[in-house]
Amino acid sequence: MMIILMMVMERILIVQTKLSEDVIEELKRKTGERTIKDALAKAVYHYLSCPNVESISKDANSERKVRSGRFPLYLGQLIKKYKMSEESISNNVG
């Protein structure tokens, strides 16, 4: 008697994103999971299999700005100062 075992190997990627603690706690509450890993996995699998989720059109994707990496610290500070000065100017004018 010959037994043949066949294994299907999936490619697994490790991904990261920034989420606030409030979002994580809400996700854990809605999924009923205790760990962040399980809550995220359950949410992703649900999203992929849910018939109520519309796919994102290519036009919507093309409107997104594509940026890789992080801003250098000095650039992030300059952008924050610019936004603050822009807000104060608009508040003084209006």
Helix, strand, coil percent content, the chain, rounded in steps of 5 = 55, 0, 45
pTM metric for this prediction? 0.48
pLDDT of residue 74: 67
pLDDT of residue 5: 63
Residue 27: CB atoms within 10 A of its CB come to 16
Q: What is the pLDDT of residues 32-83, one digit of tens each?
A: 999 999 999 999 888 888 888 776 655 555 555 555 566 666 666 777 777 7
Q: What is the pLDDT of residues 2-29, one digit of tens each?
A: 666 666 677 888 888 888 999 999 999 9
Count of residues in the chain: 94
Please name the helix (run of DSSP H) or strand (run of DSSP E) that holds residue 80, with its range, or none. Answer: helix 73-93
36: nearest Cα among 13, 49, 20, 50: 20
pLDDT of 30 above 90: yes
